[in-house]
Structure 1
Amino acid sequence: MVIGVGAELGLGAALCRKIAANGYHVIVAGRTQAKLDAVTKHIADRGESAESFVMDGASEADVMRLFDKAMSPPDDIDVPSLVVYNVGNNRYVPFRDLTQEQMEDFLRSGPVGGFLVGREAARRLAPLGRGTVIFTGASASLRGKPGFAHFAAAKAGLRMVAQSMAREFGPLGLHVAHVVIDGGIDGERLRNARPQVADERGENGLLNVDAIAEAYWQIHLQHPSVWTHEIDLRPFKEPF
């Protein structure tokens, strides 16, 4: 299942396509029915299996409802073995203009939602001794920048949730990983906000969504003797 799916040209949708292409039934989860259905239809049109699930990733009731559904599939579908938490947004807000409501919204989408999804994955999958949980992070997971205190706090908190989970549940067979996305993702959100960005960055200057999805898939395939907890992904020309 992928939690945090939006536009078809986005990371969440790319993850769903990648997982479905490898023979999995995918639960496509997010806030907007129309966007989820567009992704699900694209997968179904290829002869693969997916279904939409409208939810708020930071709602305990919605997260539990999602896992209840996933853990009680039809006879021809297995219980989930891969869970991706891809919820998040980003925008510049000067620190002195940042409101409590804005800060709380970002924290809900970061460590709070990540905790809820991670907790249910641990409750349901760790007893089975298998499964992969992957959290989408950012360069802000590692450092804060001016005007992005809210985003850095959310992503750093999510990273700590992932680390704590990995140490507790890795020995039980549940693979927990955190992916630091360092750079702009070549998707609908960035292209709408900054239409000129692709030309500014040049060829391969933005992260390709399908290439990111491939990296997530390879984490899921890793042998237990060589599990990765954290990787960073960035364009070859991105400074770091």
Structure 2
Amino acid sequence: MSTLPYRSALIIGAGPGISGALTRRLRAENIPVVIAARNVDKLSALVDETGAIALPVDASDAGEIEALFAETDARIGAPEIVIYNASGRVRGPIAELDAAEVGKALAVTALGAFYAVQQAARRMIPAAKGAILLTGATAGVKGFALSAPFAMGKFALRGLAQSAARELMPKGIHVAHFVIDGGVRAAHRADPADAPDSTLDPDAIAQSYIDVLRQHRSAWTSEIELRPWVEKF
């Protein structure tokens, strides 16, 4: 029996890091999970391990997001938890960036999040229940040099989260934005021996998402920052 007040989950922009840790935690709660990504082949090991359902999606395409939600409805029922982890990155000097590539990055990070929140809201409002969790970054709080497109997308994501929270939380839908303020640990990026815990452990990040999902509506979090204890403010 799950200790969470939700019965189904959809993770968009899934990969082996934060999404993988979240999938394991949600499946441990006996919650059926659909994980969606542009390339589902990279999710095969996670599917084998957890029994999650992998579906392909181009998050920048409104029609594909709509179809993803419809397929999720058919597979596990309308998702009561929707987590948006997808983002696009283009780095380089502003004067030299390719405008079309910038547009593609923004379409994934910002527009894709709107498409997902819209589809989630259409299902959750009639039920007066649900949780929408949006994965942000340091770039949504301060923009760094040579990373304007990422900052633009993450600032837009944060604005979407704030607006959606004010609109949807009074309707019984928990909306929360997570500022992941630091690098996320991965198999190919271990912490240096002289700097333990200098990156965020994806399992620890997932624990914070689960804790937010367990919150009573009288004290809902709408934004949380997660950073390594050695990260500079």
Tell me, yes or no, whether TM beats 0.5. yes
Q: Answer yes or no: is 1:22 the counterpart of 2:29.
A: yes
Amino acid at match of 1:17: R
Q: Answer yes or no: is 1:96 the counterpart of 2:62.
A: no
Amino acid at match of 2:50: I
Q: Answer yes or no: is 1:163 the counterpart of 2:170.
A: no
Question: Percent same amino acid among aligned pairs?
Answer: 36
Deviations 1:200-230 (A, max 9, x none): 7721110000110111111111100000000
SS at match of 1:237: coil
SS at match of 1:29: strand
SS at match of 1:176: strand
Q: 1:219 aligns with which of 209, 212, 231?
A: 212
Q: Answer yes or no: is 1:55 the counterpart of 2:49.
A: no
Q: 2:14 aligns with which of 5, 9, 15?
A: 5
SS at match of 1:179: strand
Q: Answer yes or no: is 1:208 the counterpart of 2:210.
A: no
Amino acid at match of 2:36: A
Kept in 2, the 8 Å contact 1:56–1:62? The answer is: yes
Kept in 1, the 8 Å contact 2:109–2:153? The answer is: yes
Amino acid at match of 2:11: V
Kept in 2, the 8 Å contact 1:179–1:230? The answer is: yes
Report the Cα distance in structure 1 between the residues aligned to 2:77 and 2:40, rounded to whole angstroms.
Answer: 24
Kept in 2, the 8 Å contact 1:14–1:209? The answer is: yes
Can you give the 5+ residue segments of structure 2 that lack an aligned partner in the other structure?
1-9
Kept in 1, the 8 Å contact 2:14–2:85? The answer is: yes
SS at match of 1:17: helix
Report the Cα distance in structure 1 between the residues aligned to 2:85 and 2:154, rounded to whole angstroms.
Answer: 11
Task: State TM-score, norm by structure 2.
Answer: 0.91
Task: Say how many residue pairs are matched.
Answer: 224
Amino acid at match of 1:72: A
Of stretches 123-132 and 81-90 in structure 1, the one that deviates more from structure 2 is 81-90
Task: State TM-score, norm by structure 1.
Answer: 0.88
Q: CA deviation at 1:158?
A: 0.8
Q: 2:41 aligns with which of 34, 38, 48?
A: 34
Cα distance, 1:217–1:239 mapped onto 2, change above 3 Å: same
Q: CA deviation at 1:90?
A: 3.7
Q: CA deviation at 1:59?
A: 1.3
Amino acid at match of 1:161: L
The corresponding residue for 2:147 is: 148
SS at match of 1:222: coil
Please give the residue correspondences for 1:41-190 in structure 2 after superposition, counting only pairs within 5 Å: 41-44=48-51, 50-73=52-75, 77-90=76-89, 92-188=91-187
Deviations 1:171-211 (A, max 9, x none): 101111100000000125xx3xxx5x621772111000011
Kept in 2, the 8 Å contact 1:181–1:232? The answer is: yes
Report the Cα distance in structure 1 between the residues aligned to 2:73 and 2:165, rounded to whole angstroms.
Answer: 22
Can you give the 5+ residue segments of structure 1 that lack an aligned partner in the other structure?
45-49
The corresponding residue for 2:230 is: 237
Kept in 2, the 8 Å contact 1:129–1:173? The answer is: yes
Report the Cα distance in structure 2 between the residues aligned to 1:65 and 1:58, rounded to whole angstroms.
Answer: 13
Report the Cα distance in structure 2 between the residues aligned to 1:89 and 1:58, rounded to whole angstroms.
Answer: 10
Kept in 2, the 8 Å contact 1:86–1:136? The answer is: yes
SS at match of 1:72: helix
SS at match of 1:205: coil
